[in-house]
Amino acid sequence: MKITFDSNSWEQVFDPSDREWEPVQSAISTGRITGFICEAGFRIEAIRKRERAAYFAEPAMAVQSAYSTVVRNGKPCIPIMSFGPNDAIHPGLPEMQAPKLKAALAAGVRLMRGLAWLGLPSPGDIRDPALFVQTSDPEREQRQIDAAARIEARGVGKAAFDAAGGWNAHPGTSYNEKVFAKACAEWADGELVASHIAYRNDILCTNDLARAAGTSIFDPANRAWRATEFGVQFVTLAELLKLLST
């Protein structure tokens, strides 16, 4: 059974001070269930709330090129250039989250890729390709792109980030800091759901019921839509624990 874990569930499971969820951790370690976490949470939500507006002021791109002309078959060619996130500017995982992630990875949890945002840096903790799910499914990436687009079309996921100011919601502009911080979390949640659908996992475990969030990827209407359109099955951590005890 393949379980996608939201940050509010996997962090509880691997919190050394919370013994209630040890059966879930044991089920992962023994292979009874396979646990997955989406990398997007570490690229987006790991940024402290008070720092998000400044951090997301613009995409953090890195452009690299060869320092000398490349010669091929005796002829000079245009220097090789590469584009990608400027990972050096990521501030790193919060102090309390990093050891939980280390424990989760040691237990066998694997990372799912989010969309390929070239301006969205990753922390050093997740840059090892071996930490990610290895899949040969040629359609996985396209499923993820399609699911993310349909999520965004409903005004949730990254659409909430864009509506709150997006890459331009930096200090000095007109924006609501609390709304923007929540919109970043909503973007990460949208990435999580799109990854869950793309990787075809069985259950999405989250304690986020979106009771006070208004329109959200986890609100009742959007949960019902995903259950109908994509067959997504949701459980809370408590429900997963009960399921494992049967």
pLDDT digits (tens, 9 = 90+) for 111-125: 999 998 888 999 999
> Is pLDDT of 77 > 70?
no
CB atoms closer than 10 angstroms to residue 240: 22
Q: Is residue 68 part of a domain?
A: no
Q: Is residue 15 part of a domain?
A: yes
199-239 pLDDT, tens digit each: 999 999 999 876 555 689 999 999 999 999 999 999 999 99
Q: Is residue 27 part of a domain?
A: yes
Q: Is residue 228 part of a domain?
A: yes
Question: pTM of the prediction?
Answer: 0.88
Q: Is residue 119 part of a domain?
A: yes
pLDDT band for position 47 (cuts 50, 70, 90) = very high
> Is pLDDT of 160 > 90?
yes
Q: Is residue 112 part of a domain?
A: yes
Domains contained in the chain, number: 1
Q: Is residue 144 part of a domain?
A: yes
> Is pLDDT of 168 > 70?
yes
Residue ranges making up the domain that contains 200: 2-57+89-244
Q: Is residue 210 part of a domain?
A: yes
Highest mean pLDDT pick, 46-55, 68-77, 99-108, 163-172? 99-108
Q: Which of residues 175 and 5 earns the better pLDDT score? A: 5
Mean pLDDT calculated for residue range 146-151: 96
